[in-house]
Structure 1
Amino acid sequence: MSTSTNEVVKEIEGDDPEDVLFNNLYGLRTIELNRPRKLNPLNASMIRKIVPRLVEWEKSNMANVIVMKGAGERAFCAGGDVYELAQQNQEGPEGQKRSSEFFALEYKLDHYIATYQKPYIAFMDGITMGGGVGLSIHAPFRIATERTVFAMPETRIGFFPDVGASFFLPRMAGAIGTYLALTSENLTGANAFYSGVATHYLHSTSLPNLESRLAELRFKDYYTMEERLAIIEMTIEEYATGLPHNEPMLLAGELRKAIDRCFSKSSIGEIVTALQQEEGPTKAWAEKTLVTLNKRSPTSVHVALEQMRVGKSWSIAETFRKEHQIAARFMRHPDFVEGVTTQLSRERPLPTPKWQPATLEAVEPSDNIAEPFFQESEDVPKLKLLNGRDYIEYPYRSFGVPTEKDVEDLVNQATRTRREIRDEFVRRKKGRQGISTIVDEILARKTRNDANGKAAWIYEDN
């Protein structure tokens, strides 16, 4: 399959010369998003600078490691510059067309990162939402810090979880991805790591020293990508100083079971009913979640659920092509302008958005309001990606934290105690911090001890 294209992305007159900063130090190449006062929102000017550098460095024998980070202490990247898009959309079809073209540009960059053939590390230090997720979530290494705030907040603004979320979220364990997609809930600090959104957790003060160390790394020409990534994995862990004791795992235990019970349903109506039926320790969570869902754009919630159902079968290239079609549809839908302008209002408290349709209850199952968003529009050109690379599963996901599937496989491969299983994962990860906590939670929730004290996997239909 071809890995290149004639598609060229380059700067144009009027682009801000200072919105992205680039730096070279020995074998390290850094990209720093430089709009800290606005929380480093991604715009077309920034993308037109980043893409040519990534293309250049991928071809260079001098570039060993690429780091993506944000300027300032508050945000890696808080998302795309949606205010500008909402203003364009109010100009009518031409403005909506320009907004769609922005998403085409953004998704080309995200796909290029997802299929990049040099080690790429994202410092998710601070707010990491929307467009910032696209710059980080497909990377083999994603470092969370105590300042990380991760979310896909699109249902809050009348949009849908994009930037490849159709690929990443459905592949998360259980119904976590669906829960995050529909509710736009945040994961902070260590919980971005515990959930698998991040591959590592470091204190923010360690990042400059890590950069310096990464710059010193040397790889033999014959090293495979996996061998290079394995060296980087060990290097990152050199700077681990422990996980915070005051931030326990959030999506765990009874709450995690409730998320899987409720958000594994096949329709919004069934999810709402399941939440209404929650009792015991998760009843308060369910009530709060119902309030949250009823604040979100009903159209966005329905589209996001369909996304989570169909996206798990999409390849990475197919994901961005289909998301571009969905994004173009949303640029013509009134909820996007309504949601963005409401969120950015100076009124306090924020006014209530006037969604169309207005509420989840107003949507009948027969309405199929999500269906049109998944139909290709002839007036929206098929997205031309920057290379022909594709895959159906992340090629380097083994460098992340153990998944439930990983634990299930080991439980079923051999007769072991829970402790032996946990110790095996810790050994495989060379003692990486947090691995034992993650595996212990999965084992406590998904296994039972048999008559011999060995772990047996609990299947839902048993």
Structure 2
Amino acid sequence: MTDVEAATVLVRTENSLGRITLNRPRAINALDLSMIEQVIAALTAWVDDSDIQTVLIDGEGDRGLCAGGDVRALYDEITAGRPEQISDFFRAEYAMNALIAEYPKPIVVFADGITMGGGIGLAGHAAVRIVTERSRLAMPETRIGFTPDVGGTWLLGRAPGRLGEYFGLTGQSMNGADAIYLGFADHFVPSENLDALREALAYRADPATPNEMTLLFDETPDPSTLPEARAWIDDVFSAASLGEIVQRLEESDAPDAAATLATLRELAPTGLAVTLDAVREAREMTGIRPALEGEYRRVMWFGNHHPDLVEGIRAQLVDKDRQPKWQPATIAELSADPGADARAYVPEVPLF
């Protein structure tokens, strides 16, 4: 194995372009703590490097930019009783998310293929966010009894209407056109043109900005179906509580309502309730850092005080029996304010 094959993050420069490539293609470039630290180190080094004008983040392989954080490693830390390791991972990841969002130079991200969970934290906060015909974006955390993070609540809270609640709760994936409509991406570029765009970003002086450069390669995707679905989604997911959302789904005659209801009934009631609370809290915030702090409270509460996260990872990724035993088991058993404990949790180590 060569050094390049062994490196989990490839960092190099191409003329005025600083390039960061996630290099775990067999794991669809899932993030571990070392990878996050390498990304932070590269971005930090380039802040004051006058030779670097633009940064590009992409992923090795053709399966995706990043499938998310390494949740199996998270499971191992929790079950081994090492909560401090959980804190280290999330604080580093959220510092990376904030650095990308606030970076003084334009960051371009190719969200080609699977871009989920932690991958959204890399792609969703960049200055120029590019999707392709292969893109599949999602915040699927509720499917393991968890809640969206990495600034995902900030993005979900700003999606049109109540689509943020819908995608946050169900974990549904978006195609490229959906991602642009939702505000998770800016441009649609066919995957066959990504190499040419990268070359242009590195070597062409005109147009002057990465956004204008991308427009040379931008194409119009097939339209998203989300605008047509907005009426029933907004009606259902504007309900005040998770229980009322379920009731409205039961009463809805929308074509996708029954499937959405079935999805919610399979997922962890606590994770759903905490996610609904988090997205609505983030909608009222003024910046990504407060949203990350809200997420940090919630993920640390799950990591330290609620069994559903471990159970969800066990059922999906460890034993793979797909038969999680949630606590409580049904939405009807939730308390009157089921998001309260996670919302109010104060981690031992602050985020920032």
Q: Does the TM-score normalized on the shorter chain lie above 0.5?
A: yes
Distance in 1 between the 2:220 and 2:153 partners? Answer: 32
For 2:323, give the aligned amino acid.
T
Report 1:64-213 matches (<5 A): 64-92=53-81, 95-213=82-200
Question: Deviation string for 1:208-231 (max 9, x for gaps)?
Answer: 100000012449xxxxxxx96xx3
Distance in 2 between the 1:114 and 1:217 partners? Answer: 25
Q: Which residue of 2 aligns with 1:308?
A: 279
Distance in 2 between the 1:162 and 1:239 partners? Answer: 31
User: Paired residue for 2:297, among 321, 325, 346?
Assistant: 325
Superposition deviation, residue 241 in structure 1? 4.3
Superposition deviation, residue 346 in structure 1? 6.3
Distance in 1 between the 2:202 and 2:55 partners? Answer: 10
Indicate if the aligned counterparts of 1:100 and 1:327 stay in contact, CA closer than 8 A: no
For 2:18, give the aligned amino acid.
R
Q: Number of residues paired by the alignment?
A: 346
TM-score, structure 1 normalization: 0.72
Superposition deviation, residue 194 in structure 1? 3.3
Asked if 1:361 corresponds to 2:332, the answer is: yes
Superposition deviation, residue 297 in structure 1? 1.0
Indicate if the aligned counterparts of 2:181 and 2:224 stay in contact, CA closer than 8 A: yes
Runs of 4+ in structure 1 over 6 Å off: none
Superposition deviation, residue 167 in structure 1? 1.4
- Structure 2's unaligned 5+ residue stretches are none
Question: Deviation string for 1:15-51 (max 9, x for gaps)?
Answer: x960000121111111000000011001100011111
Report 1:158-307 matches (<5 A): 158-218=145-205, 231-244=209-222, 248-253=223-228, 255-279=229-253, 282=254, 284-307=255-278
Distance in 1 between the 2:48 and 2:345 partners? Answer: 35
**CA RMSD, 1 decimal:** 1.7
Q: Which residue of 2 aligns with 1:380?
A: 348
TM-score, structure 2 normalization: 0.94
Indicate if the aligned counterparts of 1:69 and 1:122 stay in contact, CA closer than 8 A: yes
For 1:30, give the aligned amino acid.
R
User: Paired residue for 2:42, among 50, 53, 67?
Assistant: 53
Indicate if the aligned counterparts of 2:158 and 2:183 stay in contact, CA closer than 8 A: no
User: Paired residue for 1:341, among 314, 321, 324?
Assistant: 314
2:115 counterpart SS class? strand
Distance in 2 between the 1:309 and 1:193 partners? Answer: 21
Distance in 1 between the 2:183 and 2:77 partners? Answer: 36
Q: Which residue of 2 aligns with 1:424?
A: none
Indicate if the aligned counterparts of 2:21 and 2:59 stay in contact, CA closer than 8 A: yes
Q: Which residue of 2 aligns with 1:32?
A: 21
For 2:68, give the aligned amino acid.
G
Indicate if the aligned counterparts of 1:268 and 1:305 stay in contact, CA closer than 8 A: yes
For 2:202, give the aligned amino acid.
A
Indicate if the aligned counterparts of 1:67 and 1:121 stay in contact, CA closer than 8 A: yes
Indicate if the aligned counterparts of 2:10 and 2:22 stay in contact, CA closer than 8 A: yes
Superposition deviation, residue 321 in structure 1? 2.1
Indicate if the aligned counterparts of 1:28 and 1:65 stay in contact, CA closer than 8 A: yes
Indicate if the aligned counterparts of 2:108 and 2:210 stay in contact, CA closer than 8 A: no
Distance in 2 between the 1:170 and 1:90 partners? Answer: 32
Question: Deviation string for 1:262-320 (max 9, x for gaps)?
Answer: 111110111111111212xx1x3111100001111111100011112211222322222
Q: What percentage of aligned pairs have identical amino acids?
A: 37
Indicate if the aligned counterparts of 1:325 and 1:380 stay in contact, CA closer than 8 A: no
- Structure 1's unaligned 5+ residue stretches are 1-15, 220-226, 385-462
Question: Deviation string for 1:356-392 (max 9, x for gaps)?
Answer: 1111122142xx2211111142x521112xxxxxxxx
Superposition deviation, residue 76 in structure 1? 0.4
